[in-house]
Amino acid sequence: MFNGAVMDYMKQALSLAKLASGQVSPNPAVGAIVVKDGEIVGQGYTQPPGSWHAEIVALRQAADKARGGVLYVTLEPCCHYGRTPPCAEAIAAAGISEVHLAMTDPNPLVCGKGTDKLDRQGIRVYVGEYEQEAREINESYLKFVTTGLPFVTAKFAISLDGKIATKTGDSKWISGEESRRYVHYLRYTSDAVMAGVNTVLADDPRLTCRCSGTGGTVKKQPLRVIVDAQGRTPPTAQVFNKPGNVILAVGKSVKAKTKEAFAQAGAELLELPAEEGMVDLTSLLRSLSERQITSVLVEGGGSVLGSLFDNKLVDKVIAFIAPIVIGGTEAKTAVAGKGVDRVAEALRLERIHVERFGDDIMLSGYVKR
């Protein structure tokens, strides 16, 4: 068991790690704290790729006070040369006497090697404080380095009777203002935001992050990905407006004139195999991973979400449930696709979290494999 002070320091390190969420991909979001004689003398979190890791920021701030101190860090320190020198070497050189890790790093370049290096330097290492919380902060990174695919979150807002729009297609607004504000934070912490062409045609969304949740300016907009097998997205759609970049995932049968119009609108075209009016989403996710995209927030519509669920590509679900009843057999539901034949075959969630945003209820959970 770890004592209360140790847990409090690790909790602070986790809070620091969250400040880097979504802004440092494909690197993990890490927080670190240096403690000497019961006082925090250095702290930091991962900087953008190519800059300092969390441990280095904390050690530089601590300077000479780091010698004989204790380091609390949310992920195993790296031990290899990449764009920056190994953090494990810097920790030893700074004279740290003890290191507490929330979890080891499954990256084959690091996995267990960082802790071994510290141990060989005579540094005591403890592992496992708030491990589950640390894993959730870096859930996208963990999937990316172990599978080569991005972490996929399906997000939707529904009425009490499970509708995302009325029979006429009207959907503004099902969720309340507080829920919509939180969605901007979800975009802020995601590498990419994905939507289908029907969502673009119905709502003309921007899909940008317009509040960072940190009180500062949004420096990094998520990549916007539109799934459009037949090339029906209007070149005048708001999604093409700056800031940020747009990828249009289209089928190979789209005409050259249409492709040229998309290019002039500022979109990058990604031609993929398509079947039954839907591009191959597995191929799309693989293409995104090749661009170092580790997390994708999917905001609809029903056809895209249905295809993702049918192909078992969803990792997490976030549903905002509004206290309204829409009704109508023709009103749209959040998830289309083929679905299942029996309730026993239905996808189930685990590690459920429920939170209230104004009058709405947000339910989130992880797909049970």
Q: What residues are labeled active site?
A: 55
In whole angstroms, what is the distance from residue 179 CA to residue 358 CA?
A: 7
Joined tokens for residue 105: 């790093």
**Helices marked H in 25-100 — which ranges?**
54-62, 87-93
In whole angstroms, what is the distance from residue 218 CA to residue 215 CA?
A: 9
The contacts of residue 341 (CB under 8 Å, 6+ apart) are none
- CA 122 to chain CA mean position, Å: 36
The dihedral of CA 79, 71, 92, 94: what is its sign? positive
Is 259 in contact with 232 (CB distance < 8 Å)? no
Is 294 in contact with 140 (CB distance < 8 Å)? yes
Phi, psi (deg, nearest 5) at residue 79 = -130, 15
Is 33 in contact with 62 (CB distance < 8 Å)? no
Distance spanning both ends of the chain, measured CA to CA? 31
Q: How many CB atoms lie within 10 A of CB 9?
A: 22
Give whole-number Cα distances, 306 to 20, 154, 162, 164, 366, in Å: 31, 10, 14, 14, 17
In whole angstroms, what is the distance from residue 222 CA to residue 208 CA?
A: 7
Is 159 in contact with 324 (CB distance < 8 Å)? yes
Q: Which residue has the tokens 């029996």?
A: 342
In whole angstroms, what is the distance from residue 116 CA to residue 141 CA?
A: 22
Phi, psi (deg, nearest 5) at residue 197 = -65, -35
In three-state secondary structure terms, 317 is: strand
**In what helix (H) or strand (E) does residue 162 lie, and over which residues does it extend?**
none
In whole angstroms, what is the distance from residue 282 CA to residue 303 CA?
A: 15
In whole angstroms, what is the distance from residue 106 CA to residue 28 CA?
A: 11
